[in-house]
Amino acid sequence: MECCFFDYNATSPLRPEARAAWLAAADDLWLNPSSPYRAAARVHAHLDEARARVADLFEVTPVRVVFNSGATEGNNAVFAHWAATLPTDARVAVSPTEHPSVIEAAKRFFGERVVWLALDVNGAVDVAAVPEMLGQVAAVSVMAANNETGILNDWQGIADACRSQGVQTHCDASQWIGKLPLQGLGACDFVTGCAHKFGGPRGVGLSLLPEGNANFTSLVGGAQEAGHRAGTEDVAGVLAMVAALEVAEPGVADGRDAFLAGLCQALPSVEVLGLEVERMWNTALLILPEFASVRWIRALEKRGFWVSAGSACSTGKDGPSPVLVAMGLEAGVMRRVLRVSSGWATSTADWQALAVAIVESYAVLRSEAGDSPSTVISI
């Protein structure tokens, strides 16, 4: 059965442009770009051109762009770099709603020297509280957009405040890149992202480094990526990622908002997290009236819809979502959460069909429980 995909924050289908670029490069540019003969130099020239294209999109110089395997590698590399270059007693500030690849890297390299940033009532980083802690830390890591809630952080305001105090900044922009404007992200010292969130291939990503940061090394070995990241570059993957990024456009929330309006009219007991704050146009985190998330996921899959309960990187782990815990949600609420996230191939009709499927699934779940919904309105 063909399923309608609503888990773009976990990954996305490959864009046709990315597929075409990958196949062309796999056929014609398969030589090792570091080899000494002229044909390999041609491959390296394509890699250099891809770096320049990415730099143009971010409005930064090409020397800041490093290609890697994705945001997890990039995030780990930033904290490893800070641990190696900052004073031995330096502390770093991190949002408690960050992706596991940020939080676990921070804990691994800094342990008890991790300072947790305060959140506002909506779950975004409290920008007003940042200046008062800048005298205590040497670096700050804040994601651009939360992968579970879609809530946006004021990364630009935080970067400006940090720069004024000489504090380094890192922004995990995995959910932002390819979905919202890239201009301004270069104001952060370090930026990380991955291709598969915006229609590129898995296993390919990028990082922005500070200008002239010659001592940054994520993997040692060869001198690839100007010495920043050893290992033969995945030229086909990089070109596919760049092709996807170049055709990506900022989305609009019309389909998502119409979906929420219809769903909340049909099921008034549904709650939506983050309605009062800026969110990603593609994301809705629903608190459903009853039944565990996994039952909703299975019920919707039977109707041809793929959704999730949060971060794919946390699937299979015991306990509730750390993001929702940090936001202060009660245990009974957290077990009834669904995340729906759209992307480049999602239509308004898909959103409308999902609303109908959720209402129908609720009726079935209530029936299976020996009850019948009394508050359901047809969409």
Q: Which amino acid is at 191?
A: V
Higher pLDDT, 317 or 73: 73
pLDDT of res. 318: 53
Whole-angstrom distance, CA of residue 179 vs CA of residue 356: 26
Identify which has the larger pLDDT, 25 or 310: 25
Hey, what amino acid is at 379? I
Q: What is the pLDDT of residue 376?
A: 53
pLDDT of residue 315 exceeding 70: no
Alpha-carbon distance of 374 to 366, in angstroms, equals: 10
List pLDDT tens digits, range 104-144: 999 999 999 999 999 988 889 999 999 999 999 999 999 99
DSSP string, 95-158: -TTS-HHHHHHHHHHHGGGEEEPPB-TTSSB-GGGSGGGTTT-SEEE--SB-TTT-BBP-HHHH
| CB neighbourhood size of 312 (10 A) | 14
The SS3 assignment for 47 reads helix
Is 186 a residue whose pLDDT tops 80? yes
Average pLDDT of the chain, as a whole number: 93
Q: Look up the CATH number of domain 16-247.
A: 3.40.640.10
Which of 8, 4, 5 shows the shortest CA–CA distance to 341?
Answer: 8
* Choice among 10-24, 98-112, 240-254, 310-324 with the minimum mean pLDDT: 310-324
Residue 353 structure tokens: 């069909």
pLDDT at residue 214, rounded to an integer = 76
Q: What is the DSSP letter of 208?
A: E
How far is Cα of residue 161 from the mean position of the Cα atoms in its chain? Answer: 23
The structure's pTM equals: 0.93
Task: Give the pLDDT band of residue 343 (cuts 50, 70, 90).
Answer: very high
**pLDDT for position 319:** 62
**What's the pLDDT score for residue 3?**
78
The secondary structure of 240-300, three-state, reads HHHHHHHHCCCCCCHHHHHHHHHHHHHCCCCEECCCCCCECCCEEEEECCCCCHHHHHHHH
Q: What are phi and psi of 128, to 5 degrees?
A: -65, -25
Q: Which CATH superfamily is domain 4-12+251-368 in?
A: Aspartate Aminotransferase, domain 1 (3.90.1150.10)
Which residue, chain included where needed, has tokens 């075409």?
20
**Which tens digit of pLDDT belongs to each residue from 50-106?**
999 999 999 999 999 999 999 999 999 999 999 999 999 999 999 999 999 999 999
Domain ranges of the chain: 4-12+251-368, 16-247
Segment 244-247 long-range contacts (CB within 8 Å, at least 24 positions apart): 244/14, 244/15, 244/17, 244/18, 244/178, 244/195, 244/198, 244/199, 244/200, 245/54, 245/57, 245/177, 245/178, 245/195, 245/198, 245/200, 246/17, 246/53, 246/57, 247/15, 247/17, 247/199
Residue range 287-293: average pLDDT?
93
Confidence of residue 229 (pLDDT cuts 50, 70, 90): very high
DSSP result, 213-248:
-TT--SB-SS-TGGGTB-S---HHHHHHHHHHHHH-
**pLDDT recorded at residue 171:** 98
Strands 271-272 and 205-208 come out as unpaired
